Amino acid sequence: MIVKLVIKRLFLALVTLLVVSAFIYWTTAILPGDVAARVLGRESTPAQRALFDKQMHLDQPVPVRYAIWLNGVVHGDFGRSLASQLSVSGIVAPALSNTLLLGLYALVLYVPISVLLAALSAVFRGRPLDAGITIVTLVGLSLPEFALGTLLLIAFAVIWPVLPAMATIEQVQGPLDFLRTAALPALTLTIAMSVYAVRMLRDNLIDVLNSDYVRMATLNGLPRRRIVLRHALPNALGPALNITALNLAYLIGGVVVVENVFAYPGVGTLLVNSISVRDAPVIEAATLIVSGVYILANLIADVAAMLLNPRLRTS
Amino acid sequence: MASEILTPEVRVAPGRRVLLHVKRWPASLWVGGLILALFTLVAITGPLWAPYDPTMFGTGIPFSPPSSSHLLGTDQLGRDVFSRIVYGAPIDLFLALASTFLALIVGGSLGLLSGYVGGWFDDVLMRIFDGLISIPLLIFALLIIAAAGPEESGSMVLLIGVVALVYMPRIARMARAVAVDLATRDFVTVARTRGESAWSIVRRELVPNATGVLLVEFGVRAGYAPIIIGSLGFLGFGARPPTPEWGLMISENRSAITADPIVVLAPALALALLVIGLNLFTDGFARVIGRTIQRGPI
């Protein structure tokens, strides 16, 4: 039963990915400008351009080009960059691993910070600390990531210069140096994700803290710390998993802006640069991979929810 | 930072009565409303009292600190930052509302129709929309801007179209869920047996009953639109210089934050305040009509 549902969900994800790939290819295929003239230079002869068009299949209609491209993608070949003539996989792969590294860094910071702030807010509900945390999260979710990143930059690289402003991780020496160099972009992403989780987890925790079994535990004389950590928190975490899955998906998109704020050499920076020079093959590969990771994150979240909650398995 | 409205099932809203009782408005509606009123006032009357032309170079020495003649100092070209903030208000406010409204009209009608009609039309449309939603929001926007080409870049029409296109499938999904729920109600069955067409049922039976949910959705989306517009401006794919758009202002003056952080802080805070106003107002409105908004990331 569950296996069938998971297979159905997997099939739907593949259909979605196919729709996405068609959309991405179609939008980049209509990028204006004569590609051959741009790559070969103005001095190229019409014959040279015609040959180039033939080699790149640019003389074919868009659906045929899409089929050729998709066939290559399935076999791991994203073509060559128009700007540098290097293989697209060779350009995108290091950028992607940088981005995943940054995402992991942000995620590792995100979990303890969210749980700690939510727990403090719920335990001290209605007190100044709770009000402060609530206001800070409201401001946090109203600030665009680039503004948040810039504010952190002003705070920790200008006014109190303890962290590097530019996350140029090419010259880092060792993991500790990486943690320091990438601290500001990671922190920006962490805050952007945590504001939602803190709000949601706080509300869940307050519901649980008001429940009968917590009251029972209090009446039995259990220490408050034990009640919160051992009894309330695990039960409040369940619903917050959903928002963490959403956050994971967000992380993949939000990274585009944050990387650009700190000049971090990831997929986001690569994407913005290739859009500026209209390098279609790189744009296609970067957006498709990012969307693929996004779809995968949602798929994992759905399947995990199905495994954890039997009620979701019925339909 | 998408958000879902937790109670998509449609109830008879106590809305109108409470909305008229100003005294029973929640604080968030008041505060949000005041902030929005302030922004609207500045947007409309700003050009009458802003001290300088927002695009005029050399109104003072570049990066001069705040003074009585330049309330927020000057930027790297000696333009008055305060005047640029004031002139930026109508841009960000108008772009956000216009684009979200366009998405609401198109996405809302498509979603309601799709949910009511069902069948293969619904299946195909929703698969396509699911695909479009699976492209992270900002990347979707960047793709469309890239496709439009450098000539179109920076035009207000393109910006409105991009945000509307990005929102359209998301709003359609939500409207569809509402329509699927409403389609089983007796009054819809009655309308169908009267022989009304699908479009007429959508217009006369579904739309009036979905208004509350759709308005909350509009508010939530409009609250995030300035963030998209600002982010695009910041990345260099939104408004073009010398437009005093706040996201663009932040990116223009970033290189000088060590010397003069106020030039960057001021537009960031203006943008945040606008979003806070829109969010508070929407939260308050949702509470008045008996709904709760659970905000999540997009």
- Residue by residue, what is the 3-state secondary structure of chain B? CCEEECCCCCCCCCHHHHHHCHHHCCHHHHHHHHHHHHHHHHHHHHHHHCCCCCCCCCCCCCCCCCCCCCCCCECCCCCEHHHHHHHHHHHHHHHHHHHHHHHHHHHHHHHHHHHHHCHHHHHHHHHHHHHHHCCCHHHHHHHHHHHHCCCCCCCHHHHHHHHHHHHHHHHHHHHHHHHHHHHCCHHHHHHHHCCCCHHHHHHHHHHHHHHHHHHHHHHHHHHHHHHHHHHHHHHCCCCCCCCCCHHHHHHHHHHHCCCCCHHHHHHHHHHHHHHHHHHHHHHHHHHHCCCCEEECCC
- The tens digit of pLDDT for each residue in A126-152 reads 888 988 998 888 888 888 888 889 889
- The tens digit of pLDDT for each residue in A159-187 reads 888 888 787 777 777 788 888 888 899 99
- The tens digit of pLDDT for each residue in B265-295 reads 889 889 989 999 998 899 888 888 877 776 7
Q: Does A110 touch chain B (CB under 8 A)?
A: no
Q: Which domains does chain A have, with CATH numbers?
A: 2-74 (no CATH), 89-314 (1.10.3720.10)
Are residues B241 and B252 in contact, defined by beta-carbon separation less than 8 angstroms? Answer: yes
pTM above 0.95, yes or no: no
Q: Nearest-CA distance from B148 to chain A in Å? A: 7
Q: Nearest-CA distance from B204 to chain A in Å? A: 31
Q: Do B149 and A33 touch (CB under 8 A)?
A: yes
pLDDT of the residue at A34: 66
Written as six digits, the tokens of A150 are 């810039």
pLDDT of the residue at A314: 60
SS3 state at A28: helix
| B137-148 helix and A267-276 helix, angle to the nearest 10 degrees | 20
Residues B277, B31: Cα–Cα separation, whole Å: 7
Whether A257 has a pLDDT exceeding 70, the answer reads yes
CA A116, chain centre distance (Å): 23
Are residues A247 and B1 in contact, defined by beta-carbon separation less than 8 angstroms? Answer: no
Residues A3, B266: Cα–Cα separation, whole Å: 54
pLDDT of the residue at B285: 87
Q: Which CATH fold would you assign to the domain B28-49+78-288? A: MetI-like fold (1.10.3720)
Whether A32 has a pLDDT exceeding 70, the answer reads no
Question: pLDDT exceeding 90 applies to what percent of chain A?
Answer: 10
Q: Nearest-CA distance from A220 to chain B in Å? A: 35
Written as six digits, the tokens of A172 are 């880092």
Report yes or no for ipTM above 0.90: no
Provide the CB-side half-sphere exposure for B52 (13 A, CA): 23
The structure tokens 């509402």 sit at: B178
Residue B106: exposed, middle, or buried by beta-carbon count in 10 A (0-12, 13-18, 19+)?
middle
The pLDDT-based confidence of B3 (bands split at 50, 70, 90) is very low
Q: Does A291 touch chain B (CB under 8 A)?
A: yes
- The tens digit of pLDDT for each residue in A180-227 reads 888 899 999 999 888 888 888 888 888 888 888 888 888 888 888 888
Written as six digits, the tokens of A186 are 């990671």
The structure tokens 């913005």 sit at: A272
SS3 state at A31: coil
pLDDT of the residue at B100: 95
- Mean pLDDT (chain B) is 84
Strand partners, B3: B295
The pLDDT-based confidence of B19 (bands split at 50, 70, 90) is low
**Mutant choice from A150, A152, A282 vs B, greatest count of B C-beta within 10 A:** A150
Q: What is the average pLDDT across B186-213?
A: 86
Whether B111 has a pLDDT exceeding 70, the answer reads yes
Residues B269, A79: Cα–Cα separation, whole Å: 44
- Between B167 and A84, where is the model more confident? B167
Q: Does A295 touch chain B (CB under 8 A)?
A: yes
Whether B104 has a pLDDT exceeding 90, the answer reads yes
- Between A113 and A46, where is the model more confident? A113
pLDDT of the residue at B12: 46
